[in-house]
Structure 1
Amino acid sequence: MRESRSYRTFTVLNTIFLLGVVFLTMYPFLNIIAQSLSSEAAIMAGRVTLFPIGFTTETYEVVMSDRLFWVNYKNTVVYTVVATAISLVLTTMYAYAISRMRLRGRGLFIGIAVFTMFFNGGLIPNYILINSLNMDNSIWAIVIPNAVSIFNLLVMKAFFENLPLELEEAAAIDGLTTYGILLRIVIPLSKAILATMLLFYAVSHWNSWFQAFIYLSDKELFPVTMYLRNMIAGTSQTSDVAAASADAQNNVSSNIKAVTMVLTVLPILCVYPFIQRYFVSGVMLGSVKQ
């Protein structure tokens, strides 16, 4: 079929518009990378845009030589893995249960979940609760509160409701229990939505810093996002950074925030391409009815 002139015009304009959106989206991140590799003079003069000026990796060397940075980085990996595993298990079990019409009190359980989207106990009661359970200054203060995202729960619930009931009925006839149906039938058919939830939860836990700010006081337990937050706030001067040479200090103070941001976001950027295909298919599941 021959394309009309108006359609070709639309295609060109749409392409230009989308390229503009991509550029506006990418510019802040590219600017941060450029600053992290630029000299102090260029940054202070405001000459750094998309490309480094006065190329240097001095700040990377200083930050990566800081023991506390790597301790906090390890903490973030541990917190993210443990918290994501807990969140995924709890969300999957809860979503599958409330997706079954035969569940007694189904409406009540759904109502309780939705209620928490609009109302919560508040910061002070939450802190008192965590403190009374002796969970403060420990990994559990990070991975247990907010373990279940209600938005993710409702998305998974909608997905489970669209699975053919005939599969579960056939499995039940073959002798599988409810747990057997979930583990051997439902979960293998839910790889796309599980990968999507895995990405949502992992990114959320990786970027989280406020809970650590509230519940943790030991710097050895901080996640790397708290390291970054303290750098931005100017309250973290570790021994290794402070021990940098006087000549290096000026350059380090100018782009250390950019360097820390790049190092913090790098793992997510490396993992995302491998999960993207599941993410795209996962968010589209249930959008088309047959």
Structure 2
Amino acid sequence: MRSGIHLYPKELSFEAYKAALNSDGIWVGFSNTIFRTVVGTLLSLVLMALTAYPLAKKHLPHRTLFTMVILFTMFFQGGLIPTYLLIQNLGLIDSRWVYILAPPFLINTFSMLIMRNFFMGIPAELEDSAKIDGANDIRILSSIVIPLSKPILATVALWAAVFHWNSWFDGLIYIQDQKKILLQIFLRRLVVENQNQELAMLMDMATGPQLVTPETVKAAVLMVTVLPILLVYPFLQKYFVRGIMIGSLKG
């Protein structure tokens, strides 16, 4: 808001961050978004692995038909109104589980097919030797296939986590309870809808002498929203490139 353009700020102030973090709405959004991201990512990994593993086996009866039926959902969907009626009939309106169970959140067709291609690249001799020792399919999947599939699991987990963290439209149409809103909904109210009452409340929470403007508060909330998911990437980076390349080329 001061005159002139400077590469570095003349004064360093964290008042906008203090105002943002003192808001109850941002912590409610954080708790719901973290719940959705963690639980949704874990359930997606489990269900996609249980779907991709049998489809990777050439001896599965009608494997091509099953794959084509699943692939069909990648290009054709029911639409917004039928999906809303389905969610309503399932009793998931105004429930935090709608963030996880609403289609197509649990199983992403593209990610599942990438995972299937990766499983197809695992040598069949490993599974044959385990079967000779008496291991069943569940034991083979959990003890042999999953440990060898860390690159693709990390890749799919990153995709699912970013998807859940950034999603907002489902929270907009399915949730009315303000205690169940997502962090992205809170951000949208400030930046897109420009709710003056919410901004004024945040600005009143600033206690320092520095100037706090609506623009600085919006920027602070935006940084607080983006940083957590950015911090996840370095831990998965070593698996990410390898997983996506192998999963897309095999099979």
Give TM-score scaled by structure 2 length. 0.90
By how many angstroms is 1:244 displaced? 3.9
Q: Residues 174 and 205 from structure 1, CA distance in 2 versus in 1: closer, same or farther, beyond 3 angstroms?
A: same
**Paired position in structure 1 for 2:114:** 155
Which string of whole-angstrom CA distances, capped at 9 and with x for unpartnered residues, describes residues 165-201 of structure 1? 1111111111111111111111111111111111111
The 8 Å contact of residues 58 and 252 in structure 1, kept in 2 or not, is answered as no
Q: Residues 242 and 282 from structure 1, CA distance in 2 versus in 1: closer, same or farther, beyond 3 angstroms?
A: same
Q: Distance in 1 between matches of 2:100 and 2:187?
A: 20
By how many angstroms is 1:102 displaced? 1.3
Q: Distance in 2 between matches of 1:176 and 1:236?
A: 62
**Paired position in structure 2 for 1:235:** 195
Q: Residues 205 and 248 from structure 1, CA distance in 2 versus in 1: closer, same or farther, beyond 3 angstroms?
A: farther
* 1:90-239 matched pairs, under 5 angstroms: 90-145=47-102, 146=104, 147-232=106-191, 233-235=193-195, 237-238=197-198
Q: Residues 182 and 231 from structure 1, CA distance in 2 versus in 1: closer, same or farther, beyond 3 angstroms?
A: same
Give TM-score scaled by structure 1 length. 0.78
Q: Residues 60 and 203 from structure 1, CA distance in 2 versus in 1: closer, same or farther, beyond 3 angstroms?
A: same
Q: Distance in 2 between matches of 1:225 and 1:141?
A: 16
Choose which of 247, 251, 254 in structure 1 pairs with 2:212. 251
Higher relative contact order (CA 8 A, sep 6+): 2
The 8 Å contact of residues 53 and 116 in structure 2, kept in 1 or not, is answered as yes
Choose which of 206, 226, 243 in structure 2 pairs with 1:282. 243
1:251 partner SS: coil
Which string of whole-angstrom CA distances, capped at 9 and with x for unpartnered residues, describes residues 229-257 of structure 1? 11112137448426447998973312222
**Paired position in structure 2 for 1:266:** 227
User: Which residues of structure 1 form unaligned runs of 5+?
Assistant: 1-40
Q: Distance in 2 between matches of 1:210 and 1:115?
A: 23
The 8 Å contact of residues 73 and 224 in structure 1, kept in 2 or not, is answered as yes
Greater Rg by CA: 1
1:285 partner SS: helix
Which string of whole-angstrom CA distances, capped at 9 and with x for unpartnered residues, describes residues 37-68 of structure 1? xxxx14xx6847x6435532221111111112
**Paired position in structure 2 for 1:65:** 22
Q: Distance in 2 between matches of 1:286 and 1:227?
A: 36
Q: Distance in 1 between matches of 2:222 and 2:10?
A: 19
Q: Distance in 2 between matches of 1:108 and 1:235?
A: 51
Q: Distance in 1 between matches of 2:43 and 2:196?
A: 31
By how many angstroms is 1:284 displaced? 2.5
User: Which residues of structure 2 form unaligned runs of 5+?
Assistant: none
Q: Distance in 2 between matches of 1:199 and 1:74?
A: 19
Choose which of 52, 64, 75 in structure 1 pairs with 2:9. 52
Query: Aligned partner of 1:55: which letter?
Result: L
By how many angstroms is 1:79 displaced? 0.8
CA RMSD in angstroms, aligned pairs only: 2.4
Query: Aligned partner of 1:94: which letter?
Result: T
Q: Distance in 2 between matches of 1:46 and 1:228?
A: 29
